[in-house]
Amino acid sequence: MDIKTLIEFTVNRKASDLHLVVGQPPMVRVNGQLSPVLGQEIITSAINEQLVFSLLSAEQKEVLLVNKEVDFSFETAGLGRFRVNAYYQKNCLAAALRLINNKIPTIDELGIPAICHQVAQLRQGFVLITGPTGHGKSTTLASILEEINNTRRAHIITIEDPIEYILEQKQCLISQREMKADTHSWEIALRSCLREDPDIVMIGEMRDFDTIAAALTIAETGHLVLATLHTNSAAQTVDRIVDVFPENQQAQVRMQLSFTLEMILSQRLIPTIDGSRIPACEILLATPAVKNAIRERKTHLIDNMILTSSALGMMTLEMDLARLVKSGNISLDVAKSFAFRPEELVKLVGK
């Protein structure tokens, strides 16, 4: 068992992930489903150390042994780029490798809403891509950045842990910074980026108080900020951002968010009838009514605002799922399993 063979298998199967866990054979995720790598033996602790350590630099290995986990990325010539999280479980080394396509798909190729073309034209504001892990947030961000790169002359700074998609310099000047390799902390990198003359700042993941506060400040100073967050819906995203701050700062944060927010896109990758996956999205646009609801602590009204504002380009997850059911891409049963409000979905499909 060697890492190159496993990587080749992952790429050839068009899998999204490769998992290495002691006591199991190597596992790949294809179209959302896990299956073992055929012909491979059960991974032992010694084998896994050999596989994972072969990917690590001396510094990364030291971080792993001290912290019991490490994020990094690597590229294999002719095969592709991988984002890796190495970690310990049951006192044994394990790893999850995410395959990153060399080619960044376009907005249209991804099948995400066409309104994302408008995001690529924004000069300032705050745009959030949300959803569970493994549902395409990073790819959506990369497709928007690639459109900016093809159509505008601007300075794009990305701050990631680790760098996923490599942006080639086209129309834009590109600066991609990776945690540990290029900067010591999110807080320092985000504070410094304002001195680096950015037009667009992409934050790979807003993790905590410091990254969210810095993202709001950068957007407030007239830059376009794109970021991801692990939340399920637009309303939950607003609440998560506000709730991370102390209570005495929350009114100010609501004000900042209402001034800077442009769009929240919450997405899922849904299994299709033909065995692939397709995105379904919820879209919140920051209309005056939405901004007022954020300022006035009325985020419970956001879902209804989305429902009644489809003419403006907003869309509930159920609306998009219903569209995919009617077009024959996904089954109703699968759509219902992903819907927040299955009864609403059934009504929409029945129309």
What averages of pLDDT result for each successive group of 10 residues across the chain (351 residues)? 92 94 96 90 96 94 95 87 95 96 92 96 97 92 97 97 92 94 91 95 91 94 96 95 96 97 97 94 97 96 95 96 96 96 94 57
Q: 116 with 179, same domain?
A: yes
Q: 34 with 140, same domain?
A: no
Instruction: Name all contacts of 287-295 with Cβ < 8 Å and 24+ positions apart.
Output: 287/312, 290/261, 291/258, 291/259, 291/261, 292/258, 294/238, 294/254, 294/257, 294/258, 294/261, 295/254, 295/255, 295/258
Q: 141 with 276, same domain?
A: yes
Q: 129 with 85, same domain?
A: no
Domain that holds residue 219: 107-315
Confirm whether 32 is domain-assigned.
Answer: yes
Q: 163 with 293, same domain?
A: yes
Residue with tokens 């999204």: 16
Confirm whether 221 is domain-assigned.
Answer: yes
- Cis check for the bond before 105: say yes or no (omega within 30 of 0): no
Q: 145 with 260, same domain?
A: yes
Is the separation of the CB atoms in 98 and 17 below 8 Å? yes
Residue 186 belongs to domain with CATH number: 3.40.50.300
Confirm whether 334 is domain-assigned.
Answer: no
The pLDDT of residue 351: 57
Distances (CA, A) of 222 to 115, 155, 195: 21, 14, 13
Q: 274 with 181, same domain?
A: yes
Q: 72 with 204, same domain?
A: no
Residue 24 belongs to domain with CATH number: 3.30.450.90
Confirm whether 331 is domain-assigned.
Answer: no
Confirm whether 303 is domain-assigned.
Answer: yes
Q: 203 with 114, same domain?
A: yes
Confirm whether 289 is domain-assigned.
Answer: yes
Confirm whether 176 is domain-assigned.
Answer: yes
Q: 182 with 227, same domain?
A: yes
Q: Which residues contact 278 (CB under 8 A, 6 or more apart)?
A: 111, 269, 270, 272, 324, 329, 330
Q: What is the pTM of this model?
A: 0.89
How many Cα atoms occupy the beta-carbon half-sphere of 330 within 13 Å?
27
Q: How many domains does the chain fold into?
A: 2
Q: 58 with 176, same domain?
A: no
